[in-house]
Amino acid sequence: MSTPAGGTVGQRRWYYPALATPGIVWLLLLFIMPFYAIAAVAFGTRDQIFALPIPAWNPLEWQFETFSETARELFASGGLQAQFTRTLLYVGTSVVLCLLVGYPVAYYIARYGGRIKVLLLTLMIAPFWMSYLMRMLAWVNLLSVKPDDPGLVNRLLLLTPFVHDPIAWNSGTVSNMTVILGLVYGYIPFFILPLYAALDRIDRSQLEASRDMGASPASTFWRVTLPLSKQGILAGAVIITLPMFGDYYTPNLMTASPENTMIGNAIDLALQGGQGTQPKGAGLTLLLSAFIGALMIYYLVSVSRAAKEAQR
């Protein structure tokens, strides 16, 4: 039995840390445990009859043969490496395009949205009330070339003097653009929203100060607005990069071509019920997580550095 005073001290000691419990439980149940299960499959064995994975829950029993083979394949030329390089290219290009398209939108809404800011944001997000699948399928139909119908996009392009024949969006070099279009279209609102929040937070007096000091509007943008919105750009990039690296359904839906498969497709192929290929899929998942983890560390370091600078 504790004294009333001791009880108060105990309450104080545990009250605030206890608030973290739901988050910790959530993290344990939905991140740490599944992640450990993936590792147990990646480093486990397979049964002899069905070739189904037997997870090795005890780290002392882990076998690294399959995993190191997968890692080697990722760094050897061909196969997985081609898919990984393609993934980097697709994700990189998509992020740059999201920035080029998304920044002006976020900037306009934050600076000039005025009283209709909320309306503009809502309108921008409105198409995304529909499922991702439906939106991709809509693009497939807009781009598909049929015997008596070149597709809506081609019909528009044929009106211009630059295009004379319908473009086959799902084959050749163009198919890469098609997948990138799908990625940008699918993820751009998740880039714009954090960026908008960052731009909206910029204190206008800082911009006015820049102008008062004689900076031109362009100079103010480059030397004040852009640096101040860097964290928003990074946050938006992180939010869209993470799911893009694991994406496999966008290339599947947009072109269904081996020329456009990403690393997510390799994981999908290994995990979707192949006979005995799940450990390899799990290994690839770990390798991809490690790569994304490295990117995240860069992001966190950059955020903390920015926070320190802000305190100065």
Partner 1 sequence: MVYHPRDPAHRSVSRRDFLRRSLAAGVALPTSAAILAACGDDGEGGPGPGGDDQIPRFGTLDQPVTLQTYDDNPPIDSNLEPEAGPLVIYNWEQYLWKPVLRDFGKKYGVEVKYETFYNMEQAIQKFQSGEVDYDVFFPTIDYVPKLVAGKLLQPLNHDYLGNTKNLWPAMQDPYYDLGSQYSLPYTIYHTGMAWRTDIVPVEPEELAAGSNPYEIFWDADLAGKVGIYDVYREALALGMYRDHLNDTDLNTSDPAVIEAARDRLIELNDLVGVKTTIDGAYAGVPEGKFGLHQSWSGDIQAGPWYTSQPRREAPLLRYYWPARDGFGGTIDNDTYSIPASAKNPVLAHLFLNFMMDEFNAIKNWTWVGYQVPFSAVNEDTIFEESYPGLEGWFVWDYAAPEGKHWDNLKSTIVTEEDFDIGKRATGLPVEVDELWSSAYAEFKAG
Asked if 83 touches partner 1 (CB under 8 A), the answer is: yes
Q: Which residues contact 103 (CB under 8 A, 6 or more apart)?
A: 195, 233
Nearer to partner 1, 43 or 196 (CB): 43
Contact 305, 123 (CB under 8 A): no
CB distance 202 to 149 below 8 Å: no
C-beta of 48 vs 160, nearer to partner 1? 48
Judged by CB under 8 A, the number of residues near partner 1 is: 48
Question: Judged by CB, which is closer to partner 1: 32, or 137?
Answer: 137
At 185, give phi and psi (nearest 5°). Answer: -60, -40
DSSP letter for 46, please. Answer: E
Name, in order, each residue with C-beta under 8 angstroms of 254's C-beta and a sequence gap of 6 or more: 136, 139, 140, 143, 170, 175, 178, 179, 181, 182, 260
Residues paired with 45 in a beta bridge: 54
| Nearer to partner 1 among residue 114 and residue 273 (C-beta) | 273
Which of 61, 69, 165, 208 binds partner 1 (CB under 8 A)? It is 69
Q: For residues 153-182, which are near partner 1 according to CB under 8 A?
A: 168, 170-172, 175
Q: Which residues ranging from 240 to 279 are in contact with partner 1 (CB under 8 A)? A: 255-261, 265-266, 268-277
Surface-to-core class of residue 291, CB atoms within 10 Å of its CB (0-12 exposed, 13-18 middle, 19+ buried): middle
Is residue 285 near partner 1 by the rule CB under 8 A? Answer: no
Out of 280, 282, 286, 287, the only residue in the binding site for partner 1 (CB under 8 A) is: 280
Q: Which two tokens stand for residue 294?
A: 């490295």
Considering the complex, what minimum distance in angstroms separates the CB of residue 147 from partner 1? Answer: 5
Question: In the set 38, 41, 43, 66, which binds partner 1 (CB under 8 A)?
Answer: 66
Minimal distance, residue 269 CB to partner 1, in Å: 3
Looking at residue 92, its amino acid is G
| Burial tier of 227 (Cβ tally within 10 Å: 0-12, 13-18, 19+) | exposed
Nearest approach, Cβ of 180 to partner 1 (angstroms)?
15
CB of 222 to partner 1, least distance (A): 40
Residue 236 or 264: which CB sits closer to partner 1? 264
Joined together, the tokens standing for residue 96 give: 């740059």
Q: Binder to partner 1 among 146, 164, 308, 312 (CB under 8 A)? A: 146
Give the nearest distance from C-beta 257 to partner 1 in angstroms. Answer: 5
Say which residues have a Cβ less than 8 Å from residue 260's Cβ, sequence separation at least 6: 86, 175, 176, 178, 179, 251, 254
Which of 39, 80, 181, 184 binds partner 1 (CB under 8 A)? It is 80
Q: Does 145 bind partner 1 (CB under 8 A)?
A: yes
Could you count the other beta carbons within 10 Å of the beta carbon of residue 189?
20
- Chain residues binding partner 1 by CB under 8 A are 46, 48-52, 66, 69-70, 78-80, 82-83, 86, 144-149, 168, 170-172, 175, 255-261, 265-266, 268-277, 280-281, 284
